[in-house]
Amino acid sequence: MPFHPQGLTSLKPSGRVNPNLHALAHGGGPILTKRIPSWPYADPKDRLIVSYDEYVKTGGYVGLRKALAMKPDAVTEEVKKSVLRGRGGAGFPTGLKWTFLPKLATNDQGQEADPGQRYLAVNADESEPGTFKDRLLMDYDPHLLLEGIAIACYACRIKTAFIFIRGEYHHQAHVLEQAIAEAYQHGVFGPKGLLNGENTARGGSFSVDCHVHRGAGAYICGEETALLEGLEGKRGWPRIKPPFPAVKGLFGKPTIINNVETLAHLPSIIEFGADWFCKQGVASTLPGNNPPSFGTKLMGVSGHVARPGVYECELGIPLRVLVEELCGGIRNGKRFKGAIAGGVSMGILGPDQYDADMDFDIGRKHNVLGLGTAGPTIFDEDTDMVAVARNIARFFKHESCGQCTPCREGSGWLYQLLGRIEEGHAKTRDLDLALEIATSMGSMPGTTICGLADGNNWAVRTIMNKYWSEFEKRVQPTHVAVKMTVGASAKG
């Protein structure tokens, strides 16, 4: 896809939109979406599903061939050097996660022991409200994901990969299955070994099998251990950790779990190198030794904007620039009121945080849980924030797996309270009670197994704290009668 620096937006993007992509070697321009026409570089109306032949013609599987010419540990080290952070929500360094797998012994000739059965579980569940960036990749460029899967499997000595896809993604599952069939047909996967049994630096060929597993539509299966339970055909209940999946995961075997977008970055990192990747994005601005926010990020913007959609942006782009220069501004010329920066579980940015930088430091700098999936939902000045909080609480109540009492009971209680507040039947003390309930539930207070309750907590708590006056106006004042007495014998 040709790169158009001038863009196709109604407003010409400034130098604050992807400033480093223009200067990159290897043609510059978008990386994850170079085959997916997207604003501001190309017209989305030209999008088509990229077939195997088209993918190869545009540089596909070059990164995999280069990876096979490297030792598996060298591939892992390159990913570690790039500081690629997980794009599924937590932002944990990908290469570091791979090193948690059990180490393999080597003989006197330097040959590795048989790794045994290991698994790669690809998190394509994407059930977080406001998030639809993985869907774009699976819709139009599925081989980019498959190449990333092959690279990760080789680096981690994994012979079986499962793509756990959201139950409602019927079309995307079909596209992936067609792409996997093409990959088997052309020898990318299958018993011969990667790329038709090409000899690897590890010695001999390395074969990988890849399968699509459709979920049943449960939000909780986005949590990695609940995802593993779903893959095993069980109810999607998160597991107690430790043991962690890298040691005991799917079917009790060592397992790596990576997000779709995370794996889609691997081909370009291996092809062009970690130093190239580190030229995109920003370093951490927090004190201490904090990991940087390198690379680009798919940001799915929805809500009250003129042009919603998925935009590939360098990490660190200010939210205001993303909205006004790429999304055409707030719809109908209204003012900005707030934004959920990365899926509803991350909490909300207030009206004075419009210039927040979209990087992994956003949580500590702006009192939200984190960047999450970087799927901003934008609210204009007419939004009822009490209704927003109540709707989010309803979602978490519905999606709680019920395994942990604080989450099971607290999410329902919180929803009831916010419903009363919205209807005007609550009292002032109910505001404090709602905040107390929210703050008491979650894995960070140490009361639940997974972070679903934390998402409920941060969403409700940040909305209430940053829009407190709206909640106060919806409740009836709580009057406590106070009698004044003077001395011990005073009459009431």
Give me the residue spans of the domains in the chain. 61-104+118-279, 295-380, 385-474
Would you say residue 306 has pLDDT above 50?
Answer: yes
C-alpha pair distances (Å), 260 with each of 266, 304, 344, 474: 11, 27, 19, 42
**pLDDT value, residue 351:** 95
List helix spans (H) across 424-486: 428-440, 452-466, 468-472
What share of the chain has pLDDT > 70, as a percent? 93
Q: Is the model more confident about 319 or about 113?
A: 319
Q: Which CATH architecture has domain 61-104+118-279?
A: 3-Layer(aba) Sandwich (3.40)
Q: What is the mean pLDDT of residues 228-256?
A: 95
Please report which helix (H) or strand (E) contains residue 277, including its range: helix 274-277
Q: Is the model more confident about 109 or about 199?
A: 199
Q: What is the mean pLDDT of residues 200-213?
A: 94
**pLDDT value, residue 8:** 47
Cα atoms in the Cβ-side hemisphere of radius 13 Å centred on 340? 30
**pLDDT value, residue 39:** 86
Give the integer Cα–Cα distance in Å for 80 and 98: 9
Q: What is the mean pLDDT of residues 56-61?
A: 95
Q: What is the mean pLDDT of residues 39-61?
A: 93
Would you say residue 76 has pLDDT above 80?
Answer: yes
CATH code of the domain made up of 385-474: 1.20.1440.230
Q: What is the mean pLDDT of residues 370-386?
A: 95
Give the integer Cα–Cα distance in Å for 98 and 373: 21
CATH code of the domain made up of 295-380: 3.10.20.600
**pLDDT value, residue 112:** 83
**pLDDT value, residue 11:** 47
Q: What is the mean pLDDT of residues 432-448?
A: 91
Residues comprising the chain, all counted? 492
Angle made by CA atoms 92, 303, 12, in degrees to the nearest 5: 85
9-18, 26-35, 106-115, 374-383: lowest mean pLDDT where?
9-18
3-12, 184-193, 468-477: lowest mean pLDDT where?
3-12
Question: Average per-residue pLDDT in the chain?
Answer: 91
**pLDDT value, residue 27:** 57
Give the pLDDT confidence of 282-297 residue by residue, as tens digits. 999 898 888 999 999 9
This prediction's pTM: 0.92
Q: What is the mean pLDDT of residues 334-360?
A: 94
- Chain position carrying tokens 């390198």: 294
Q: What is the mean pLDDT of residues 354-379?
A: 94
What share of the chain has pLDDT > 90, as a percent? 82
Using pLDDT thresholds of 50, 70 and 90, give the confidence band for residue 144.
Answer: very high
Would you say residue 10 has pLDDT above 50?
Answer: no
Would you say residue 40 has pLDDT above 90?
Answer: no
Would you say residue 17 has pLDDT above 70?
Answer: yes
Using pLDDT thresholds of 50, 70 and 90, give the confidence band for residue 92.
Answer: very high
Please report which helix (H) or strand (E) contains residue 398, including its range: helix 385-399
Six-digit token pair at 407? 């989450």
Would you say residue 414 has pLDDT above 80?
Answer: yes
Tell me if 231 sits within 8 A of 250, measured CB to CB: yes
Omega of the bond leading into 267 within 30 degrees of 0 (cis):
no
136-140, 200-204, 301-305: lowest mean pLDDT where?
200-204
Closest alpha carbon to 88 in 370, 350, 310, 366: 370
Q: What is the mean pLDDT of residues 144-153?
A: 98
Closest alpha carbon to 41 in 78, 2, 82, 92: 2
